[in-house]
Amino acid sequence: MGAYKYLEEFWRKKQTDVFRYLARLRNWEFRQLPAVHRASRPTRPDKARKVGYKAKQGYVVYRVRVRRGDRKTRVAKGIVYGKPCHQGINKNKAVRNLRSIAEERAGRKISSLRVLNSYWVAQDALHKWYEVVMVDPYHKTIRDDPRINWICRNTMKHRELRGLTAAGRKARGLLKKGKRATKLRPSVRAAYKRHSLMRLRRWR
């Protein structure tokens, strides 16, 4: 087994004494840092490579902190001046997953880079941390590499905001195929529009 295989096995067994000790130290360190900050290198090199990271110019890793749990309605003192149906504050469930939200925050913060992918690195009772692999679309190394220069296209701007990354596609339900996805493809809105549109065979 190569070194990456051992690393993968280590990250898989999260209940071991060594992993729990390292995770505790890592969580403490991450808590002291800003919500979105650049990581000098990936915490999980094996996982970073799996999702597309290469240790060369043009690739950057940002670490993002996201609050765990449900989304809370942002209103002053928890008061909603409206109908009772809108007065829920605490039990709102987010449509997207936390990894997708982390990608969005990184993409908004560093808007000149393109979001490639992301992966989980740590969590405690309050937060989850994700590392987002980002690519500089104007770097010569990236533009000259036929494996990655697709991300330099204009249509790849802010992929993370449009649900085109792996986490975004998962949130949209696009991991399902066939009869399970009849109302999901190409998107929920497009499918709804298609099903509710009346098509008459003759021009009227």
pLDDT digits (tens, 9 = 90+) for 137-175: 999 999 999 999 999 999 999 999 999 999 999 999 999
Q: How confident is the model at residue 118 (pLDDT cuts 50, 70, 90)?
A: very high
Q: Distance between CA 44 and CA 53 in Å, rounded?
A: 11
Q: Structure tokens of 142?
A: 């990236």
pLDDT band at 203 (very low <50, low <70, confident <90, very high): confident
Q: pLDDT of 1-55, one tens digit each?
A: 789 999 999 999 999 999 999 999 999 999 999 999 999 999 999 999 999 999 9
Note the pLDDT tens digit of each residue in 43-53.
Answer: 999 999 999 99
Number of Cβ atoms within 10 Å of the Cβ of 137:
19
Distance CA 175, CA 181 (A): 9
pLDDT at position 201: 87
Interior angle at CA 62, CA 57 and CA 63, nearest 5: 150
Is pLDDT of 199 > 90?
no
DSSP string, 3-23: HHHHHHHHHH-TTSHHHHHHH
DSSP the chain: --HHHHHHHHHH-TTSHHHHHHHHHHHHHHHHS-SEEEESS-SSHHHHHHTT--SSTTEEEEEEEEE-SSB----GGG---S-GGG---S-BPPSS-HHHHHHHHHHHHTTTSEEEEEEEEEE-SSEEEEEEEEE-TT-HHHHT-TTTGGGGSGGGTTGGGGT-SHHHHHHTTTT--GGGGTTTSS-HHHHHHHHH----SS--
Residue 204 has pLDDT above 90, yes or no: no
Does the pLDDT value for residue 202 go beyond 90? no
Enumerate residues 6+ apart whose C-beta is below 8 A from 172. Answer: 163, 184, 187, 188
Q: What is the pLDDT of residue 151?
A: 97
What six digits make up the tokens of 55? 């240790």
pTM beyond cutoff 0.85? yes
The model's pLDDT over 62-105, given as tens digits with 9 standing for 90+, comes to 999 999 999 889 999 999 999 999 999 999 999 999 999 999 99
Give whole-number Cα distances, 44 to 19, 88, 177, in Å.
13, 39, 31
